A = this chain, B = another copy of it.
Amino acid sequence: MAKRGKLFVLTGPSGAGKGTILEHILKAAPNLFLSVSATTRAPRAGEQEGIHYFFLSREAFEERVKQGDFLEYAEYVGNYYGTLEKPVDERLDEGYDVILEIEVQGAMQIHQKRPDAVLVFVAPPSMEELSRRLYGRGTEDAQERERRLQTAEHEMTYKDSFDYIVTNEVLERAVGDLLAIFRAERCRNNPRQIQGEGNTQC
C-alpha cells in the first residue's frame, strides 16, 4: 500500500490571492490533487461531474450533511458548496497529497474535524492593500466593497487558528513559502512523541 498522503487546506480572505497562488502551486507540484467540491448549483456549459464539481440536488446534499459525509460545507447565495470526505480520503489512501481551497469558515470546520490536516492561511500584507485589490477587481459598488472588507476583517481574526500564515506581498515569495511548507510537511513527524512509531516521510 502507498504511504498515505497529506491533506492541505488553503484559506484566507477574498482578495488575499489564494486562487492565484494555488494555480502556480498546482503547476509546480504534480503530485498534489486539487479537491473537487460538491454543489447544489446547476452545472454551467462544459462543466463535468466529478471534474469541476460533484453536482447534487438540494435534498441529496442535505441528506449527506445529515450522514456526516462532508468535511466542510456552507451556503452561499442560495446554494450549498462543500467538500465530501470520502473522495479526499481515497486520494490520500492512494498516497497523493490533496489540497482544498476554501473559505475561512469551511477551513475552521476542518480545523475541528481533522487534526491531520495542514491548514495554511493566506493573508494580505495589510488591510489597505486588500482594499486596493478588491477595488482593482472592478467592484464599483462602494457598499458591496465595504461589506467584503468587513468580511475579510472578520476572517482575519481567525488566522491564528491555522498552522501556517503566508503573507502574500510578493506572489513568487508566497508561492515559494507554500512549496517549502509542502516539502517540510513531508518530513514532519507529527506530533512530537516520546518514543515509538512515527511517520517518517522524507
- Measured between C-beta atoms, what is the minimum distance from A177 to chain B in Å? 5
A159→B200 contact, CB < 8 A: yes
Residues in B with CB closer than 8 Å to A158 are 195
Whether a CB of chain B sits under 8 angstroms from the CB of A192 is yes
- In the assembly, what is the distance between CA of A157 and CA of B202, in Å? 17
In the complex, A198 has a CB within 8 A of chain B = yes
Residues of B within 8 A of A186 (CB): 177
A177-B184, A183-B180, A202-B177 are known contacts. Are A189 and B160 too (CB-CB below 8 A)?
yes
Query: Does A98 have its Cβ within 8 Å of any Cβ on chain B?
Result: no
Contact call A165/B200, Cβ cutoff below 8 A? yes
Q: For chain A residues 151-197, which have a beta carbon within 8 Å of chain B?
A: 157-167, 176-177, 179-181, 183-189, 192-197
Contact with B along A112-144 (1 / 0, CB 8 A): 000000011101000000000000000000000
Which one of B119, B187, B197 lies within 8 Å of A165 (CB-CB)?
B187
Q: Is there a chain B Cβ closer than 8 Å to A6's Cβ?
A: no
Residue of B nearest to A158 (CB): B195
Do residues B196 and A160 form an inter-chain contact, with CB atoms below 8 A?
Answer: yes
**How close is A157's CB to chain B, nearest CB, in angstroms?**
6
**Chain B residues, Cβ within 8 Å of A197:** 160
Q: Mark A94-111, 1 if CB is under 8 A from B, else 0.
A: 000000000000000001
A147 smallest CB distance to B (angstroms): 22
A140-B195 Cα distance, complex, nearest whole Å:
33
